[in-house]
Amino acid sequence: WNKVELRLSTHSAGGITGPVEDALRAIGGVADVSRAADTLFRIAVADNADPTDELVASAVRNGWGLYQLSPAQTSLEDVFVNLTTREAS
């Protein structure tokens, strides 16, 4: 899976209604969603999928105030787990 980060405007964060995670999971090609902060969501994207257009459309449709949509940065912990898991196999 590839990962992207979706950040919403801090001005709209208090006005977000309904479960954002559920709405994002309903988009084709989205494998999983986790909320990393009040306005930051990490989205796992299925292989060979590109839900970018639908992510943007959903943010507009729901009035979420999309601030940023970008590839997720891999953390040092993710790199370590990936390397040690490969070596153990």
Distance CA 42, CA 36 (A): 6
- E-strand spans in 1-89? 2-8, 30-37, 40-45, 66-71
**Residue 81: predicted pLDDT:** 78
pLDDT (tens digit per residue) in 72-86: 877 787 778 778 887
Rounded to two decimals, the pTM is 0.73
pLDDT (tens digit per residue) in 28-64: 999 999 888 888 899 999 989 999 999 999 999 888 8
Diameter of the chain measured on Cα atoms = 47
Encoded tokens for 36: 């990393």
